[in-house]
Amino acid sequence: MGVELYLVISTIMLCAGIYGFLMRKNTLAMLISVELILNAADINFAVFNKFLFPNQLEGHFFTLFAIGIVAAETAIAIAIIINVYRNVQSLDVDKIDKMKH
Amino acid sequence: MEYTILILLLPAIMFIFLGLAGHKLKPKIAGIFGTISLGIVTLLSLTTAWEYFTSPRVNGVFEKIIPFNIEWLRLGEFLHIDIGILLDPISVIMLVVISLVSFMVHLYSMGYMHGEKGFQRYYAFLSLFTFSMLGLVVATNIFQTYIFWELVGVSSYLLIGFYYTKPSAIAASKKAFIVTRFADLGFLIGILVLSFYGQTFGFIDLMGGSSDLVLQGAAQKSFLGIGVLSWALGLMFIGAAGKSAMFPLHIWLPDAMEGPTPVSALIHAATMVVAGVYLVARMFPLYIVYAPGVLEIIACVGAFTALFAAIIACVQTDIKRVLAFSTISQIGFMMVALGVSTSMDAHGGLGYMASMFHLFTHAMFKALLFLGAGSIIHAVHSNEMKDMGGLRKHMPITHITFLIACLAIAGIPPFSGFFSKDEILAAAFKFSPMMGWVMTVIAGITAFYMFRLYYNIFWAKEAKHEHKPHESGYSMTVPLMVLALITCVAGFIPFGHFITANGLVYDLHLETSVALLSVGVAIISILIATIFYRKETQPIPEMLASKLKFIHKSAYKRFYIDEIYQFITHKVIFACISTPIAWFDRHIVDGFMNLMASATQKLSYLIRNFQSGRVQQYAYVFLLGIVVIVGLILLIL
Amino acid sequence: MNILLFFVIIPILMIFFLWISKNRNQIRGIMVAGSSLLLILAGILTYLYLTQRAAGDTAEMLFRSDYSWYSSLNIKLSLGVDGISVAMLILSSIIVFTGTFASWQLENQTKEFFLWFCLLSLGVFGFFITIDLFTMFMFYEIALIPMYLLIGVWGSGKKEYAAMKLTLMLMGASAILIAGILGIYFASGATSMNILEIAKAGNIPHDAQLIFFPMTFLGFGVLGALFPFHTWSPDGHASAPTAVSMLHAGVLMKLGGYGCFRVAMYLMPQAANELGWIFLILTSISVIYGAFSAIVQTDLKYINAYSSVSHCGLVLFAILMMNQTAATGAVIQMLSHGLMTALFFALIGMIYGRTHTRDIRELSGLMKIMPFLSVCYVIAGLANLGLPGFSGFVAEMTIFVGSFQHTDIFHRVITIIATTSIVITAVYILRLIGRSFYGEVKNPEHLKLTDATWDERLSAIVLIIAIVALGIAPLWMNNMIGDSVLPIVKALVIK
């Protein structure tokens, strides 16, 4: 299997993530889209590590590190979303603009 | 003669004392303090005059003495303002006139102002005025004159507005101050010009002193086709015209009669209003040499004012107004006398001597007239002629003294006015027959309106009075008698021995033809007035008034000069300059600042939309930014 | 220790003690003690200054000392005074003293008010004692900031608007000013920001002068109410509390004239000679325009504010005439106007405190109700219209005579135009006095009002004494200032 296939998959994931982030109005769905983007990056790290520097492990380590960070970030994000939901009874991103003023 | 400093200091101290502590004193005590200090000042002035005029002459003239001089303010290398005392014939004569009249007025006011609220304040202001006026006449330099000139202006303002709750008094005081202030602007600019070219303020330096060469150099220079010194002296005359109520700056003087009557006698008849004449006389050597053209203008302005005021005086019904216009007219005489002088020698300078002589005699008889009028007003509580009439029986002393003053101003010998007026007419005839005839006619009108006044007050129909009028008390009649006495004898003072243009002795002699002419005219005028006004009914004047309705009315309304001024100040200056400027300031200048502020605010509202708070919008912009940057990079690479 | 440092230390101590003060009596005690100390200090300084001069010390600045502050940028706290600064210090201390008494009755948040008031005076005193461009600017800013709070919190009327306007306009000006100052510093290539050093070297290139002179002059000129940047003054003064109006119109506006003279003109004489005429026209417009505007105003404070525009315009007008007499006149005018306008604002504050209106159409016959205040107001008015015996006359005459000695005909003509202001001043002052103080009392409510209390009397009397003293015996002040403007005027004469 060549590197291109992996890259195509990760590209699709990235684009899907961006599309989802821009188009979905539900904050949870947006969060999932962000996860997609991050995962696409993770895949790239792992793939390039494997094909370019097979004797080294930095890419894999970085992927694992990123997964850990993403988990923490998701936890915080979900906590914020829950709190927002409690306050405004909505997850629609366009309606959450009270903090602006 | 160092004691002359006391002449200035005593009234000044009295002003401060009465001004600060007056309200703690009993009114009478305050009055006595003021009067006594003025009495001392009068004695000192008379002593000064005696000592000065008996001192030996040097080269035939009296020496100018500066017994006291300090530097008050230094303005550059050459210019410095001094405060000092300069004694020369005219200042010494003025000292006597001012302190004498002021003393009489102080004494008179004890009775006249008795029981008035603010009696102490009144005496404080009188002292301030006396101080300023004395400071003005003894000034050693033109700037000191200006300083005291302003101070007499403000004392006049304060005294006219003495009844500060009366709207007409407030308006009159404001008018007097602003009109004279406007004229003073001319004076100030004149001083600036003169000091720029002469590099000195001192009178002695300016006249034949160290600055003579400098001034001769300046005489060559001109501005807008007129010599700079003519400008300077002409502008100074504007100041003099304002203070002396020359046309068209005379409008404040009739209104100034709103003040207490003794104040009118002191300030607006005898002393302050002749300050303009004094100023021209003081600068006379410069006028003769450097600005003979301005002197001619002075003569014309004086003659016109004299005629103009005399006509108005014929129809006024308020006795103080009549006297006010008569004052304006008489000052016009003095100005004419100065203006018709053509040289410094005895012959050409006759007018100079005559004006000073008339100033002296006029101060006495006009103060007498005003104090007499005050006595009448005190008795009948009105200024209007119709409320008087037949008072000769009730007020004998006032009647006799008033008659003496009327005869003096009409120019009947042997009263003082005859002699001084005769000299003025002689000088005017020497200048040009035309001027002489005009002045003779005005003298005739003077006699007419004075006797119109006299008959209307003391003869004619007796008005109904609530209280029977009675003669005033001694504090008021004594000054009347003193002034009447002076009026009777002052004409025989050999004035030419004291004051002449060049300082040399000049023996006065009556010009027989002129004297006969003027006495003849005066007697005819008096006769006309007698026919017109002596009777209880006055058919002829009424008929004339209805026949010449237009002239009568416009003269009664003082030829609408006040209305013109009112129009200029309110409609032009207030409405067309100040209001637009204030509007401009609020709406254009300030509006521009507000515009900047609101523009900034609008702009920031505009920019604020970039920070919408919508995550997805940020993401769009972010993405777009990346695409653009990547695109640019690709394009460049 | 340099005596000048006390002018900064005393306000700092006052701030500290006010901070820990507990009640109104303590606050009053601190303020009276501090402001009296400052007044005494100014007196001592004047005495020392005059004796040192009399002893033959001809240095341009006396009591010099330098404290290094931020050495890597060559910023020093350089102290020094000449006759001009001494005169200004006397003025400031008198006004701080009288301002304290004028706000004696202040009710709300007294402590905070006086804290900011002290900070304001700290800035003012600091400005006059330093001769280092940077520290001067710093003190200038210190004086500006408290203004915003003092007007915004303790003011009256449209106070937020006025405070904002005043602060923003002055801040805008100081932005230009700091650019100008830095420009001067770098263009001169000096090793410190000391004014004396820069002036002595005198090597600011001609092109740089043409850029930085207008910037500096304008920067300071806005504070001196230069037309058309004067509009902060009527609104600001009208809304400010009494003591702040006094200090602002009395002293802070003088910072402008002082700065223009000492910084802009002294350091950049060539540009001053070349561009002076532009500002001369602007200032003469200020003089006439302010006076005309004052005629139709109806608010006592607006009348006075426009009158200030006119009189402060005369200050800038005179320094642009660039000769010794006119410049001396300018400094005396600063002093005289400071005292007069402080007196005016103090009296207006006192009248407003009683009648709760400043509209002259609603005031009438005050002379009967409150004779003391009214007499003081008439005195202030007469002083303002330049009556002999008061300081205004001395100042104006010195300016006019000095300006008229200029050899150029343009300057002389423009002087004549400026002199007409004395008539217009008389018009608006007398109109106001006639309308509000004389006459009968029209509003029966006003009959219940009382005359001045002792603290108000003290405040007014001190100011009147200062005005009269300067007006009757001006010679020593004239000489002290005249000697000190000489170096600056000499620098302005292009060889």
The rounded distance, in Å, linking the Cα atoms of B574 and B583 is: 12
Q: Do chains A and C touch (3 or more CB pairs under 8 A)?
A: no
Report the C-alpha gap between B139 and B72 in whole angstroms: 13
Average pLDDT over residues B432-461: 86
Number of domains in chain A: 1
Nearest to B265 by CA among B97, B138, B429: B97
Cβ neighbors of B573 (< 8 A, separation 6 or more) are C295
Residue type, B292: P
Q: Look up residue B90 and give its amino acid.
A: I
pLDDT above 70 covers a percentage of chain C that reads 100
Binary contact (A100, B619; C-beta < 8 A): no
Alpha helices in B490-538 (DSSP H): 512-533
Three-class DSSP category at B585: helix
Say yes or no for a CB contact (<8 Å) between A93 and B623: no
The residues pairing with B82 across neighbouring beta strands, listed in sequence order, are: B71
Give the closest of B79, B157, B182 to C401, CB-based: B79
Task: Tell me the C-alpha distance between B539 and B535, whole Å.
Answer: 9
DSSP string, chain A: --HHHHHHHHHHHHHHHHHHHHH--BHHHHHHHHHHHHHHHHHHHHHHHHHH-TT--HHHHHHHHHHHHHHHHHHHHHHHHHHHHHHHS--BGGG--GGG-
Judge whether C100 and C244 are in contact, CB under 8 Å: no
Q: What's the CA gap between B19 and C222, in Å, rounded? A: 41
pLDDT of residue B528: 85
Tokens encoding C427: 């018009």
Does residue A12 sit within a domain?
Answer: no
Mean pLDDT over C46-62 rounds to 85
- Identify the band that residue B187 occupies on the pLDDT scale cut at 50, 70 and 90: very high
Average pLDDT, chain C: 87
Q: Which of B608, B614, B620, B626 to mutate to test the interface with A (most CBs of A within 10 A)?
A: B614
Gap between the Cα atoms of C453 and C422, Å rounded: 33
| Residue A31 resides in a domain | yes
Domain ranges within chain C, ordered by starting residue: 3-492
Say how many CB pairs under 8 Å bridge A and B. 22
**β-pairing, B222-223 with B226-227?**
antiparallel
Q: Which residue has the higher pLDDT, C244 or B538?
A: C244
> What is the average pLDDT score of chain B?
85
Of B612, B613, B619, the CB nearest to A22: B619
What's the pLDDT at A1? 67
In this predicted structure, what is the pLDDT of residue B414?
Answer: 81
Q: Mind telling me how many Å the CA of B623 is from chain A's nearest CA? A: 9
Cα B622 to the center of its chain, rounded Å: 84
Cβ pair B614:A22 closer than 8 A: no
The answer to whether residue C22 scores a pLDDT higher than 90 is no
Tell me the whole-structure pTM to 2 decimals. Answer: 0.87
Q: Chain C: list its partners (3+ Cβ pairs within 8 Å).
A: B
Q: Check residue C40 and give its pLDDT.
A: 92
pLDDT-derived band at B209 (thresholds 50, 70, 90) equals: low
Task: Give contacts of B 575-634 with A, CB under 8 A.
Answer: 611-616, 619-620, 623
Q: What is the pLDDT of residues C101-156, one digit of tens each?
A: 888 888 888 888 888 889 999 999 999 999 888 888 989 988 888 888 888 888 88
B79-87 and B65-75 as β-strands: parallel, antiparallel, unpaired?
antiparallel
Question: What angle (nearest 5°) sits at the alpha carbon of residue B549, between those of residues B543 and B552?
Answer: 95
pLDDT band of C63, cuts 50, 70, 90: confident
- Neighbouring C-beta atoms of residue B302, cutoff 10 Å: 31
Q: Find chain C residues with C-beta within 8 A of B582's C-beta.
A: 292-293, 295-297
Q: Each residue of A19-78: pLDDT tens digit?
A: 998 888 888 898 999 999 999 999 999 999 888 888 888 888 999 999 999 999 999 999
Domain membership flag for residue A101: no
Q: Are B389 and B456 in contact (CB under 8 A)?
A: yes
Q: How confident is the model at residue B511 (pLDDT cuts 50, 70, 90)?
A: confident
Inter-residue contact B387 to B380 (CB < 8 Å): yes
Containing structural domain, residue A73: 25-94
Which chain C residues are Cβ-neighbours of B579 within 8 angstroms? 296
Average pLDDT (C80-89) is: 90
Domain annotation covers residue A78? yes
Angstrom distance (rounded) from CA B555 to CA B539: 20
What distance in Å separates the CA atoms of residue C252 and residue C133, rounded to the nearest whole number? Answer: 17
Give every CB contact of residue A101 below 8 A, 6+ residues apart in sequence.
none
**HSE of B498 in the Cβ direction (CA atoms, 13 Å)?**
22
Residue-wise pLDDT tens digits, C240-285: 888 888 888 888 888 888 988 888 888 888 888 888 888 899 999 8
| In chain A, residues 28-67 whose CB comes closer than 8 Å to chain B | 30
Cβ neighbours of B632 (radius 10 Å): 10
d(CA B593, CA B600) in angstroms, rounded, equals 11
Residue B620 distance to chain A (closest CA, Å): 7
Chain A residues within an 8 Å CB radius of B610: none
Percent of chain B at pLDDT exceeding 90: 11
- Return the amino acid letter for C38: L
Model confidence at B146, in pLDDT bands (50, 70, 90)? very high
Which tens digit of pLDDT belongs to each residue from C364-404? 888 888 888 889 999 999 999 888 889 889 999 999 998 98
Integer Cα distance of B525 and C345 in angstroms: 60
Task: Pick the residue from chain C with its C-alpha nearest to B181.
Answer: C423
Helix (H) or strand (E) holding B368: helix B350-380
Q: Is residue C226 scored above 90 in pLDDT?
A: no
ipTM of the complex: 0.91
**Does any CB of chain B come closer than 8 Å to the CB of residue A94?**
yes
Check: CB of residue A37 under 8 Å from CB of residue A14: yes
Is residue B623 predicted with pLDDT exceeding 90?
no
Candidate from C296, C426, C439 with C-beta closest to B167: C439
Q: For residue A92, what are the β-bridge partners? A: A26
More confident residue, B210 or C36: C36
Q: Chain B: residue nearest C164 by CA?
A: B597
Residue in B closest to C401 by C-alpha? B192
Chosen from B69, B155, B174, B579 to mutate, greatest number of chain C CBs within 10 A: B174
Residue B145: the pLDDT is 92
CB atoms under 10 Å from CB of C55, counted, come to: 7
What are the residues whose beta carbons fall under 8 Å from the beta carbon of C176, sequence distance 6 or more?
Answer: C215, C218, C219
For the cut 90, the answer to whether the pLDDT of residue C453 exceeds it is: no
Cα–Cα nearest to A85, from A96, A74, A76: A96
User: Are β-strands C62-70 and B226-227 bridged in parallel, bridged antiparallel, or unpaired?
Assistant: unpaired
Backbone angles phi, psi at B446, to 5 degrees: -55, -50
Residue with tokens 């002087």: C415
Q: Does B50 touch chain C (CB under 8 A)?
A: no
Of B613, B620, B623, the CB nearest to A100: B613
The burial class, CB within 10 Å (0-12 / 13-18 / 19+), for C319 is buried
Q: How high is the pLDDT of residue B43?
A: 92
| CB of B75 less than 8 A from some CB of C | yes
Residues forming beta bridges with residue C375, ordered by sequence position: none
Residues in chain C: 495
Q: Is the pLDDT of residue B212 over 70?
A: no
Tell me how far the alpha carbon of residue A101 is from its chain's centroid. 29
**Subunit contact A97:B623, Cβ cutoff 8 A:** no
φ/ψ region of B434 (left if φ > 0, alpha if ψ in -120 to 50, else beta) reads alpha
Confidence of residue B211 (pLDDT cuts 50, 70, 90): low
Provide φ and ψ at B2, rounded to 5°: -65, -20
Position B233: which residue type?
Answer: L
DSSP class of residue B73 equals: E
What is the predicted pLDDT for the residue at B318? 86
CA atoms within 13 A on the CB side of A69: 10
Report the alpha-carbon angle C267-C268-C273, nearest 5: 135
Instruction: Calculate how close chain A gets to B601, using CA atoms only, in Å.
Output: 16
Give, rounded to a whole angstrom, the gap between the first and last alpha carbons of chain C.
40
Between B279 and A94, the higher pLDDT residue = B279
Would you state the pLDDT for residue B385?
A: 78
CATH number for the domain spanning A58: value is 1.10.287.3510
DSSP output for B208-266 = TSTTHHHHHHHHT-EETTEEHHHHHHHHHHHHHHHHTT-TTSTTHHHHGGGS-HHHHHI
Place A101 in a pLDDT band, splitting at 50, 70 and 90. Answer: low
Q: 3-state SS of chain C?
A: CCHHHHHHHHHHHHHHHHHHCCCHHHHHHHHHHHHHHHHHHHHHHHHHHHHHHHCCCCCCCEEEEEEEEEHHHCEEEEEEECHHHHHHHHHHHHHHHHHHHHCCCCCCCHHHHHHHHHHHHHHHHHHHHECEHHHHHHHHHHHHHHHHHHHHHHCCCCHHHHHHHHHHHHHHHHHHHHHHHHHHHHHHCCCCCEHHHHHHHCCCCHHHHHHHHHHHHHHHHHHCCCCCCCCHHHHHHHHCCHHHHHHHHHHHHHHHHHHHHHHHHHHCHHHHHHHHHHHHHHHHHHHHHHHHHHHCCCEHHHHHHHHHHHHHHHHHHHHCCCCHHHHHHHHHHHHHHHHHHHHHHHHHHHHHHHHCCCECCCCCCHHHHCHHHHHHHHHHHHHHCCCCCCHHHHHHHHHHHHHHCCCCHHHHHHHHHHHCHHHHHHHHHHHHHHHHHCCCCCCHHHHHCCCCCHHHHHHHHHHHHHHHHHHHCCHHHHHHHHHHHHHHHHHHCCC
The pLDDT assigned to B163 comes to 86
